[in-house]
Chains A and B, each alone.
Chain A
């Protein structure tokens, strides 16, 4: 397996230490890691899931818009962030492994380096919660 860029490695290390659900994609927009807090929200640890494609991911977890319709992959904040090199924000619903739906706010930002965009990070917040001091 090819070596990940240092910026992605450090992002993963930081995310591993956070109690905010966080997701990491590589420069191609492929999900390469999510942390334990994200695993708790989804009901599945990253190590259990392994690498899954966008389609499989969509069928398992969503996300869905306000009408319960799946949101196209290309419109996800993580994907917008990594492709356009800009931050992106959205509100949507995700489905966890037990089928429960969760309203979340998502902020994603790109990991820009001297060699261009190497990936992006998204953090999830329970919708309506603006209390950043842990829950």
Chain B
């Protein structure tokens, strides 16, 4: 399984000289399974570049949406494969008692917010609510579970061979809960992340910023690290950077994260901050990820 980060920013695209290293595009992770199947995790503005990087030949690909906040779907109408008649796109996402996934996404892909309507997309697009039990895409087994955020939100786990990727970009497991002491079964998202080869997790706030953002649906650095340690993730990438965090600030937070990780008994090189365009290779027969760039 190959994993590439196309958008690492949370909330709103934040391009500019201050964010050029960690990136300004919002959430999107490209995954190539061991059998060649293609997945996109979320469709923030990063999916535009993912689309441009794909070969132009007919393809089938799956987009797994964690939820429908704009920073996770904004790139959909700028995803080149959606404008090719020969492309088949399956969009997975959370169910809601209020309306179907298609109808909720169509609120964004429709006038006046969008120049095209869902029915006008040239590709063969279908929408599916994620099942409660795991299902298969290509060589992988996929599980989705509701996690603590604002509104119906999923986290994903992708198991391909011996390696596993957990993706929980928007997550506040510590809301009203002490995640250091609670029994594991009672921590939001932990079942998805347990023993993952690679965990991509919300790391939006510095600890000092969190008290002003309780209930906003995101984690502080310490919460993310506690969560990853409890989950026993082999490697953790902190993701969904706050738009206010410059490269310089993120460098500091990255150092802080490493120090805390070591203090909690982790090893060197097991935690880092997400950098746009970085790649990870998860071997089919190993337990930890290696950086490809």
Chain A residues with a Cβ under 8 A of chain B: 1-7, 9-10, 12-14, 16-17, 114-115
Contact = CB atoms under 8 A, between A and B. Distances in A.
Contact of B148 (A1, A3, A10, A114): A10
Contacts of B187: 9
Given A1-B184, A2-B191, A115-B132, A9 B145 contact: no
A4 B95 CA distance: 19
A3 B191 contact: yes
Contacts of A3: 145, 184-185, 190-192
Interface of B: 95-97, 132, 145-148, 175-177, 183-188, 190-192
A17 B184 CA distance: 19
Contact of A9 (B95, B132, B148, B192): B148
- Main secondary structure, interface of B, reads loop
Nearest to A1: B185
A10 B151 CA distance: 13
A46 to B, nearest CB: 11
Residue from A1, A16, A114 having most chain B Cβ neighbours under 10 A: A114
A4 B186 contact: yes
Contacts of A114: 95-97
B146 A5 contact: yes
A37 to B, nearest CB: 15
Contacts of A9: 148, 177, 186-188
A48 to B, nearest CB: 15
Contacts of B132: 115
Contacts of B184: 1, 3
B215 to A, nearest CB: 11
A7 B186 CA distance: 11
A14 B215 CA distance: 12
Nearest to A13: B176
A16 B176 CA distance: 8
